[in-house]
Structure 1
């Protein structure tokens, strides 16, 4: 027979003369008692055309079956609540991303060859999956200090960088970088991400108007 659930509901108060009522873990354990109830009811129906209330032992069995069903349903509901989905984790703000390590993601080039993101450090990453924004990309290429890689990241395939600009065009088909940043693509701007040579994020701007507004952070990338 079963045992009481540690967190489950207890039995309702029953007459003491009924004795100890145990709730089994499996309702199938009451098959014999249920069959006895059916036999009692069949005998009562066969003996008289008028229905007679079941006897005392049968009432006890009926109450035990109903109590077991209610108890198992309550326990199942409580356990489902305890194991249900937890509260969602708050999404990090741009300021909270600063200081975190750049994720070890593989982007792809025009030939679909993998390019490790952390192999491009120090780096200025411009996510252009929502807006090509060639002017902002060209400005970033002009403004970035020597030794700092400027990368554009599109969604499905790399987009051509401005002619003559030292920019590496890559793609992130799996969307791992956007998922890490928790920032949706915007048709009106470029998301900028800066990481130093140790892989630490130094700046994240969801929609950058002009990369030249962040000259101090750019200069520190070359340090």
Structure 2
């Protein structure tokens, strides 16, 4: 064994110098022989393990060249970008699925469109000028609010009388017919101005062209009358296409 004088400061008992750390305990006791030929068995074992690998092939030699190594690095860099993009796309898709499946705050139900919530289109009384019995033109909007009765083909004397009795003094009753004055003389209701009945305004007017019925899109005359309730602002509040009784619109008179 080599002594302490020729081993660079190692102690004679095999310990390490003061300025060097000790060897790991798992290495065990390390003995360095004076004759290196004693390690020939270990040398042969290492050489046998190295000989099992065999010489490198041409492909291995080619891949070990610097150009091939640079090419591998470039290929790895090029492939890394698509992999990153695909990974991000997968993450976004998964996040979207979680977001759509995650229960959010309850939504308020949309209000259903019913006859009570959706206001009807407000129609207005047309600015027509009709004829009185004396041939003078009378503006249909001249006296509002009013109950207008279209009486063509109708024996409506009772309906007109009941309407006059039902309305207040501020509401006019206007009977409109397409018949001429000569036809009125033959027995149909009189057209033209009439004196107020019990302080109420009543008018009989003639509409030869049937313009009012056309504007209101009413059906052809039959044995019934049509009632139109108009407020002070010319808004048509109610249209009763066919009626013979005041009861069909009595409850609407309070809206005028």
Paired residues in the alignment total 126
Which residue among 190, 194, 197 is the counterpart of 1:160? 190
Would the aligned equivalents of 1:98 and 1:200 in 2 still touch at CA under 8 Å? no
Q: Which has the greater radius of gyration?
A: 2
> Greater CA deviation, 120-129 or 179-188?
179-188
- Secondary structure at the aligned position of 1:201 is classed as strand
Question: What's the offset of the Cα at 1:220?
Answer: 1.4
Distance 1:97 1:120 in 2: 25
Structure 1 residues 98 and 120, CA gap change in structure 2 (3 angstroms): farther
Cα deviations across residues 26-83 of structure 1 (Å, max 9, x unaligned)? xxxxxxxxxxxxxxxxxxxxxxxxxxxxxxxxxxxxxxxxxxxxxxxxxxxxxxxxxx
Question: What's the offset of the Cα at 1:181?
Answer: 1.4
Matches within 5 A, 1:108-147: 108-147=131-170
Which residue among 113, 124, 137 is the counterpart of 1:101? 124
Distance 1:99 1:213 in 2: 20
Would the aligned equivalents of 1:183 and 1:206 in 2 still touch at CA under 8 Å? yes
Distance 2:131 2:120 in 1: 24
Would the aligned equivalents of 1:122 and 1:196 in 2 still touch at CA under 8 Å? yes
Distance 1:132 1:176 in 2: 21
What is the TM-score with the length of structure 2 in the denominator? Answer: 0.45
Q: Please list every run of 5 or more consecutive structure 1 residues that lacks an aligned counterpart in the other structure.
A: 1-95
Q: Please list every run of 5 or more consecutive structure 2 residues that lacks an aligned counterpart in the other structure.
A: 1-118, 182-188
Aligned to 2:226: 191
Question: What's the offset of the Cα at 1:119?
Answer: 1.0
Aligned to 2:209: 174
- Secondary structure at the aligned position of 2:248 is classed as helix
> Greater CA deviation, 166-175 or 146-155?
166-175
Question: What's the offset of the Cα at 1:113?
Answer: 0.6
User: Greater relative contact order (Cα 8 A, min sep 6): structure 1 or 2?
Assistant: 1
- Secondary structure at the aligned position of 1:219 is classed as helix
